[in-house]
């Protein structure tokens, strides 16, 4: 019996795969546990439409990430820090502070988990920070650390 898997199953395959299973195994295990459905013409067509929709959504997300990366190239964020002895920075700038400053200054959301700091920003000056927007797209954001 041909089965379309509805979820990843360790011994059988990945979601969306079409596998061949014995009739008993399919009727007594796969179908009752909703791991898969029988590969009828209707279900095959539904699978095809679902995959096409997933590809379309993935492409839209990639295009949006590229557009946002281009927007980031033009933006600059100023983060204010307290100065310690001798004009040196007191503490360091975190990704959370950068995301908060970006939202305040530009009105756009930026996930702090996507900000990749090379090292802790512990001194005043200008830095270029990488933002991982998508597995295939990353953008650069200029961050200026100034004395408060």
Output helix, strand, coil percentages for the chain, rounded to the nearest 5.
40, 30, 30
Q: What is the pTM of this model?
A: 0.70
Arithmetic mean of pLDDT, 14-23: 94
**What pLDDT, on the 0 to 100 scale, is given for residue 13?**
94
Q: Is the pLDDT of residue 51 over 80?
A: yes
To the nearest whole number, what is the mean pLDDT of the chain? 91
Burial of 61: CB neighbours in 10 Å, binned 0-12, 13-18, 19+: middle
Arithmetic mean of pLDDT, 3-12: 93
Tens digits of residue pLDDT in 97-127: 999 999 999 998 999 999 998 888 888 889 9
Banded pLDDT at 5 (limits 50, 70, 90): very high
Could you tell me if 17 and 3 are in contact, meaning their C-beta atoms sit under 8 angstroms apart? Answer: no
Banded pLDDT at 76 (limits 50, 70, 90): very high
| Cα–Cα distance for residue pair 114/78, rounded to 1 Å | 18
Q: Which residue has the higher pLDDT, 45 or 88?
A: 45
- For 73-112, the DSSP string reads HH-EEEEEE-B-GGG-BSS-B-HHHHHHHHHHHH-----G
């Amino acid at each position: 019996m041909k089965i379309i898997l509805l979820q990843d199953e360790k011994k059988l395959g990945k979601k969306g795969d079409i596998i061949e299973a014995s009739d008993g195994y399919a009727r007594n295990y796969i179908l009752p546990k909703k791991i898969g459905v029988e590969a009828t013409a209707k279900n095959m067509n539904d699978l095809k439409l679902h995959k096409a929709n997933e590809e379309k959504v993935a492409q839209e997300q990639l295009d949006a990430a590229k557009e946002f990366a281009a927007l980031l190239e033009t933006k600059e964020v100023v983060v204010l820090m307290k100065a310690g002895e001798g004009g040196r920075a007191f503490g360091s700038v975190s990704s959370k502070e950068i995301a908060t400053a970006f939202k305040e200054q530009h009105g756009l959301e930026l996930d702090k988990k996507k900000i990749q700091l090379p090292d802790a920003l512990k001194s005043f000056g200008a830095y270029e920070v990488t933002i991982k927007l998508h597995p295939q797209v990353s953008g650069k954001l200029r961050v200026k650390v100034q004395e408060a």
